[in-house]
Amino acid sequence: MRIVSLRENKNLEKRISITPEIAKKYISLGLEVALPENYGEHLGFTDPDYKNLGVTISNNEKEIVSNANIIVQLGLPSDEKLSYLQENQNLIGVLNPYMNKEKIENLIKKKINNFSLELLPRITRAQSMDILSSQANLAGYKAVIEAFAHFEKAIPMMMTAAGTVPAAKVLIVGAGVAGLQAIATAKRMGAIVFATDVRMASKEQVESLGGKFLTVEGSENLETEGGYAQETSEEFKKKQEELLIETIKKIDIIICTALIPGKKAPIIIKESMIQNMQAGSVIYDLAAIQGGNTAFTEVDKIVEKNGVKILGETNILNRLPTSASNLYAKNVFNFVSSLYDKENKNININLEDEIIEKTLIK
């Protein structure tokens, strides 16, 4: 059994799916590992690093795929690379079936098994495979760092002989994994932190990290069975807007993290709210790639409105690719371990296993 990974388009994705540490684990599991030349060199993982572990390195990606049983990636490969895949192979990654429906349907017709890891169920057994949580943790942390870098005032309160510098006030919109890490990071740096979420279950978590939870009436009804936020009603949106209008007037930095799986991100920070913010304030929108949580978010641009900077990136994890790759590769290894039957040396697609059933795109 052979597991491989192809080079990503580095203009879009700097993370990798197999680090040397994880390559060693795959080999210990009984799998062969093959990678293209210079696969991880941009992260400091050289070809000799892999070769010394027993990894096969080749300059022919088509040949690498032809001899593979499992292909692991970050996103869906290019059309050319997808054409290399053959019947009964297993493609594992963040395949985004909502946006790549046609391409994945074509792969299914070729009898390729497609496992999309963002569809993992939120159950205890799947926690070690949860790519959304591991990557969102880093994204929440980095969003705060990036926002603070663009904020031209001090973050913590400072008392000096010349006077007192007040602490920055930060609002986190969405208290999922990214939001909670953003709260923790902002608090560690001395900010006063507020947070809002449609799920009342988040209140205790926010407060345990030292944040103040802004409660919107009706929040308890807005969580899916899988623990995700669901789309809100018009009545809820109105109540949330009224709460935010008053809160935002005193906020220096906003971190937006509100996403609904498979749908356009909800616009939460309206034009009128931004007009009420103080000049010099900063908004970092982690939802930019899905349309953004503000009225003015543009991907990979810094938009300035009334002195307020609004930032959003295609992929903030490209700013932390080594840390993100280490976590992602471990998540994927744990998933592959659940698929691989070590005794019979084959892939066991057991549809009675909730993890397999939910991630396999049929």
> Catalytic residue numbers?
122, 127, 130, 133, 228
Phi, psi (rounded to 5 degrees) for 194: -120, 155
Identify residue 118 by its one-letter amino acid code: E
Do the beta carbons of residue 229 and residue 256 sit within 8 Å? no
Q: What is the DSSP string of 191-254?
A: -EEEEE-S-TTHHHHHHHTTPEE---TTGGG-B-TTS-B-PPPHHHHHHHHHHHHHHHTT-SEE
Q: In what order do the strands lie in the sheet with 192-196?
A: 212-213, 192-196, 169-173, 253-256, 282-285, 308-312, 301-305
Q: What is the DSSP string of 45-66?
A: --HHHHHTTT-EEES-HHHHHH
Q: How are the residues of the chain apportioned to helix, strand and coil, as percentages rounded to the nearest 5?
A: 40, 20, 45
| Residue 95, CA distances (Å) to 26, 59, 127, 321 in order | 22, 25, 19, 19
Rounded-to-integer distance, Cα 132 and Cα 178, Å:
9
Hey, what are 284's tokens? 């970092």
- For the stretch 130-165, what's the b/e string if a residue is b when 16 or more beta carbons lie within 10 angstroms of its beta carbon? bbbbbbbbbbbbbbbbbbbeebeeebeeeeeeeeee
Hey, what are 147's tokens? 């926002």
Rounded-to-integer distance, Cα 254 and Cα 40, Å:
34
